[in-house]
Every structure is written in C-alpha cells, then in structure tokens.
Structure 1
Amino acid sequence: MKKIYHLGTCTTCQAIIKETGIDKKGFEMQDIKTEKITPAQLDEMKNRTGSYESLFSRRAMKYKEMGLKDKPLTEKDYRQLILEEYTFLKRPVVFVNDKTFVGSEKKTIEALKNALS
C-alpha cells in the first residue's frame, strides 16, 4: 500500500511531497482537511506505529489553546482528539508497503526517501 495522509494547505507537507516525488509515484493522497480520517484509518495508523501518542502533534495551535499541555492524556484521549480535530495528527503520515513514516523530522524524511529509492 502506498498512501499519504497530508494537509494540502501545509507548506511543510507540500515541500515533502515535492522533495520525495510522492505525487508522481502512484500514491493515494488523502488531504485530511477535506477528507476526514476515519476511526478505522486512525486505528490502522496506531497499529503500524504502536500508539496514538506517536501520531499526536503537540505543535498544533489548539494544543495550547485547549490547555492540553497541562493535562495528563491517555491513549483514548489522543485517539479522540485526533478524530475530532485534524490538526492534531502529526503529518504527513506515509505508508510505503509495510513501512510507516510519521512527521516531518529530517531523519524521518531521509528514511522515507531511502524507502522510495
């Protein structure tokens, strides 16, 4: 399976897609703002990464707005927050066959490039 969950308006996601050529490599592309993540899709991401927390973005503006940094969050909380608000998904999330890449850290993007070459 070749799929990317991204945000079409995110310049970081756009740069990663361009840099890796994902848009030209037959990937199914899902813009999470226009096509919401389903509970089944999120559960599949969790099964591939091991936790909902690993998929959760603490950089989202709503993280501070909602005062979440001061609250202890459980796996159930992370799942619910991501499903309710797309900006809480760390992005992009890329599936390349049996490998999964989450986020925009330099080492993650390098590993993604290696998997694609």
Structure 2
Amino acid sequence: MTAVLWMKSSCTTCRNAKARLAELGIEVEIRDYYRKPLATVELEGLLPNDPAPMLGTKSPRYKELGLKDRKLTKAEAIALMIEDNNLLKRPILVHPKGVIIGFDSVAYEKLVP
C-alpha cells in the first residue's frame, strides 16, 4: 500500500508536512482534496466512528455551525464535509503503519524504518 497525503495545496501546514515527509524519504501519493473533493465513500473509510479529531476546528464554517458544542455522528460529519471540505482537518497521512491527523513531525519520524 502506498501512503497517501490528503491535503489542500494552498495550506502552508500541508506543504510543510509534504516537505517533511520528503526529507524523511517517505514516499506519498498526494491527494489535493480541495481540487478533487472526497466522495462520501472515501470519507466513510477515512473517518473514525467519532469524527471529532477529524474536524478542522479553525474553519470559519466550524465556528459558524457551533460545532464545538455539538457531538456529531459520523454520518453528520460526512454530510457537512461533503458540503464544505474545509471542515476536514488537514493534512491527513494514511500510511500502512497508521493514520496521522494534522502535521506531526515526530509521528512522521517514527514511520521511517
């Protein structure tokens, strides 16, 4: 399985994550979900049953919808993310050794054999 970095190319944090992975020699397939939004089936496979860690809390839409005080079901989160993909926290690294949400250089280093 090839590792996939789900990111938004205009996001500085995502670009930093991509650069760090390259520095570490970790090959990834880049998936810019802003240019090619995720399908419902992709989100179903990506999100855990409790989608809270996958929500982009810095998104204006997150604040507008008052999501901080709500516990969304996986289906509710997916429906909202289909409407506005900025609600998905980024970047997301899907690697054979696990999924890393957000840019975490230390976690990336642990993936190096």
Q: Shorter-chain TM-score category? A: 0.7 to 0.9
Question: Contact between 2:7 and 2:31, CA under 8 Å: does it hold in 1?
Answer: yes
What is the aligned residue count?
Answer: 111
Structure 1 Cα separation of the partners of residues 71 and 51 of structure 2: 14
The one-letter amino acid of 1:51's match is D
Equivalent in the alignment of 2:46: 45
Extract unaligned runs of 5+ from structure 2.
none
Equivalent in the alignment of 1:90: 89
Structure 2 Cα separation of the partners of residues 95 and 116 of structure 1: 14
Equivalent in the alignment of 1:111: 107
What TM-score results when the alignment is normalised by the length of structure 1? 0.80
Q: CA deviation at 1:27?
A: 1.5
Q: CA deviation at 1:25?
A: 4.1
Q: CA deviation at 1:91?
A: 0.8
Structure 1 Cα separation of the partners of residues 86 and 9 of structure 2: 12
1:16-53 Cα deviation digits (max 9, x unpaired): 1112217x64321110110111112111112xx44322
What TM-score results when the alignment is normalised by the length of structure 2? 0.82
- 1:9-20 equivalences under 5 Å are 9-20=10-21
Structure 2 Cα separation of the partners of residues 71 and 99 of structure 1: 27
Extract unaligned runs of 5+ from structure 1.
none
Superposition RMSD on alpha carbons, in Å? 2.1
Q: CA deviation at 1:72?
A: 4.8
The one-letter amino acid of 1:36's match is P
Question: Contact between 2:50 and 2:73, CA under 8 Å: does it hold in 1?
Answer: no
Equivalent in the alignment of 1:21: 22
Equivalent in the alignment of 1:6: 7
